[in-house]
Amino acid sequence: MNNPQQQPTCQDRIDSHLESRLSDLRILFHGPTIDDVQLIDDGTLDTVIEVYEQQYRFSDTSAYRGYQIEDEDYVIQSPAFKGYFCYQNRKEFNFVDIDSMTNAIIQDMKANEFYPNVWFISDHGNETLLSINTETGEWISIENNPGLDLAEFWDSSECDSIREEIQEQFYEYGLSFDYVAPHTFEDQEHGYFQWCLSTGGPGDEFRFYVDLDETCYKIEYWFLDWFDGASITLHSGGHGKPDTNAQLMLEIFEHFKECGSCFFVTEAKR
């Protein structure tokens, strides 16, 4: 007879849930950093980045690449279907094969006595600077264009709206922020402020214990399921400097105070 598989307890699961919550709160409260940005290749020529599980598309990020393709340059692309097209000064020309395209570019260069850069863009958006021998028609790959400088692009004003949009989600994070008076639950000696993030089976919350001088002297994270529960203390006062996670939660509690979410009562005293 097979024994039923034992389900993980709250103590088994609490570490991963706390880690996920703290990761969310760092991004939402402090704002995403370059470490939270991922470049996505979706097979188009657009620049697509993913931040906090949301994707954002940009049609022109040339200012943040190693070289900028100028309007007078020839830009060659080979789509999935047969043939090539080349555009210059926003004019597009289609060719059945590479030889006819090469001859057309050489003739145009000679006719205008002007020899701008020639670029080839792959179907994945990779840019390669080419050199063409106008006598033999031979193509030479000079170098690949360095990819997008993601850090510079992320720090630019073009991404300001993304940062603002994500940080606005902090105000929708969680369900309620309430004061739980002492002895509301059995063996609960002290009152605390409860930031409830989710309910049911399971649910989770942060608990902030506060002195009459409005100092938060203890922070706990609780992970609760039916007839089970576990907690982790993130901050317990003392004279040492709080670690990164404790400092984040202390800053968030101060934010709630400034917003008027906390009212201080005698029961809040240790």
- Could you read off the pLDDT of 130-155 as tens digits, one per residue? 888 888 888 877 665 556 788 999 99
More confident residue, 90 or 257: 257
How many domains would you assign to the chain? 2
Residue 200 lies in a domain: yes
CA distance 66 to 215: 51
Taking 60 as the threshold, does the pLDDT of residue 270 lie above it? no
| Same domain as 74, residue 114 | yes
β partners of residue 229: 224
Q: Considering the domain boundaries, does residue 203 fall inside one?
A: yes
Question: Does some domain include residue 204?
Answer: yes
Domain carrying residue 205: 174-268
What is the spatial distance between Cα 150 and Cα 129, in angstroms, rounded to a whole number? 20
pLDDT value, residue 9: 93
pLDDT band at 10; cut points 50, 70, 90: very high
Give the pLDDT score at 1: 53
Q: What is the pLDDT of residue 220?
A: 96
Q: Are 196 and 234 within one domain?
A: yes
**Global pTM value:** 0.69
Structural domain contains residue 263:
yes
* Domain contains 46: no
- Find out whether 269 and 212 touch, Cβ atoms under 8 Å: yes
Which residue, of 127, 144, 161, is where some domain finishes? 144
Q: Are 180 and 140 within one domain? A: no
* Mean pLDDT, the chain, whole residue set: 85
The answer to whether position 242 is within a domain reads yes
The reply to whether 130 and 202 lie within a common domain is no
